[in-house]
Amino acid sequence: MTQAVTLPAVGFIGLGIMGGAMAARIAAGGYPLHVYNRTRSKADALVAAGAHWHDTPAALAKQADIVISIVGMPDDVRALYEGEFGLIANAREGAVLIDMTTSSPALASELCAFAAARGIAMLDAPVSGGDVGAREGRLSIMVGGEAEALERATPVLRCLGANIVHLGGAGAGQHAKLCNQIVIAATMLGVCEGLAYAQRAGLDAPTVLGAIGGGAAGGFLLNNLGPKIARADYAPGFFVEHFLKDMRIASEEVAAMGGDLPALELARRLYRELADAGHARSGTQALFSLYDAAVPRNAEAGQ
């Protein structure tokens, strides 16, 4: 008779646009799920489906073999993990802590060392793929930390995506995610400028997207966010304010290396302007609204 396999209990903290979908996929994978979120109502659907609610991160940490967090800002990460009531101080012996927030590489290294001093394994594992990737389990996961800890956590991470890449020691996952955000920053400028040009030329945006989306210009941003731009749908899959945070961290890292990335700095300036115009909680595709205002449609073009 085959003995049933007991799956590790998984704690999940941060049930926003990304985290809520990610936690649901872990629960669908059969893992006992423990959840915490600052806004309790965001956990209601998961709890109704069988997840265990905890009133504090410390209480959750005492019940989970693997704890995953995806929160907003580096200060949120520090507050969550450090201190008497933090995850590290309250984690179970042998637990693996995984922060999937896009955060500072230096902070990731600091927290990993703090955890190691208590005999706790910690990984930094930010993700890319947006809300669609989170819902469909197609996230790319960039991991920094010890290989042994990643091996233990990999079956759970496979609920979230198949592309799980170990980049190196603590902080390496965060560095890789900053590479990702730098590429996105420049690419978003190109997507918006191409569609602004199409608008000025009097072309039909969906038709243009169909024409260029299958060629060299095609890619995740053009093919997934381009249609949203065409219908002025700026609902968030990823908040502008969080993208600004990511670009700020990337800019600081580049400066510390003695480098300069002009496209990144231009994107930061434009997204700051966008946030100041009231779009901090809009999706990153709302950048087009700046171009839309500056480049009005030419109704006569293309006639």
Is 42 an annotated catalytic residue? Answer: no
Cα angle 131, 17, 50 (rounded to 5 degrees) comes to: 110
User: What token pair was written down for 260?
Assistant: 């300069």
Catalytic residue among 42, 177, 228, 245: 177
Q: Please give the torsion angle defined by the CA atoms of residues 188, 192, 197 and 198, in that order, rounded to the nearest 10 degrees.
A: 110
Q: How far is CA 197 from CA 193, 264, 290, in A?
A: 6, 21, 13
| Element spanning 115, H or E | helix 105-117
The rounded distance, in Å, linking the Cα atoms of 29 and 164 is 17
Contact 228, 205 (CB under 8 A): no
Within 8 A by CB and 6+ apart from 281, the residues are 236, 239, 240, 241
The rounded distance, in Å, linking the Cα atoms of 56 and 73 is 19
Residue spans of alpha helices (H) in 17-104 = 17-28, 44-48, 57-61, 74-81, 87-90
| Element spanning 140, H or E | strand 140-144
Cβ atoms within 10 Å of 75's Cβ, excluding its own: 11
- DSSP-assigned states of every residue in 146-197: -HHHHHHHHHHHTTT-SEEEEEESTTHHHHHHHHHHHHHHHHHHHHHHHHHH
User: What token pair was written down for 42?
Assistant: 């965001």
Q: Which residues are catalytic?
A: 177
